[in-house]
Amino acid sequence: MGWLESRKNLAGSACGVAGAGLALAGAGGAWWPLVVVGLYGAGALIAPPERVPVPPFDPGEELGALRADFARLREYLAEVELPSPAAGTLAELAELYGALLAPGWVARALATEPDAVHALARGIRQDVPECVDAYHRTRWWDRMSPGGEAPEQHLERQLAALREEAGRLTAGLHEVEARRQQTHTAYLEERGRS
């Protein structure tokens, strides 16, 4: 059934009908069936192939998986001990991540920005767990051979860098929404002048 509706069959049929018209006009002579079949074949060959439809991707699915990963990260962070300044920065970062992932218009705006989703996913799935785990591993070694740079300092610097990155991500989303608002204002003002 798919072949009957295909572009190749429709183009071949149109050329075959044109061949039948030529045969009725007397152009094909005794060979008119070959002319019709040949024109059908030529039309089927020159017709463009069927276009395979692009699979529909739902950006909300990625955010759903990211929300589940963020919930697991929060469970992990609730079980680990961190120094006071780093714990405060991590709490701010987690609150910002949670606000970005909360269902609603912010998450819908986030879903339209693949780079922002990637940065957020990298922060949740890789950067924050690595910071905390590296702190705990380094702290254990630091007890064995003290005198080096304190692992707390590195943890604080890492979390501050992640907090700054999340701030840039949020500012970028805000800028997109602000431009959208400005564009709509300009459209309404232009429409009012017309």
Q: What is the pLDDT of residues 66-107, one digit of tens each?
A: 999 999 999 999 999 998 889 999 999 999 999 999 988 888
Overall pTM surpassing 0.85 (yes/no): no
Burial class (CB in 10 A: 0-12, 13-18, 19+), 82: buried
How many CB atoms are located within 10 Å of the residue 116 CB? 19
Amino acid 144: pLDDT: 66
Listed as own residue / partner, the contacts of 89-95 with beta carbons closer than 8 Å and 24 or more positions apart are: 89/156, 89/159, 89/160, 89/163, 90/128, 90/132, 90/159, 92/163, 93/123, 93/128, 93/159, 93/162, 93/163, 93/166
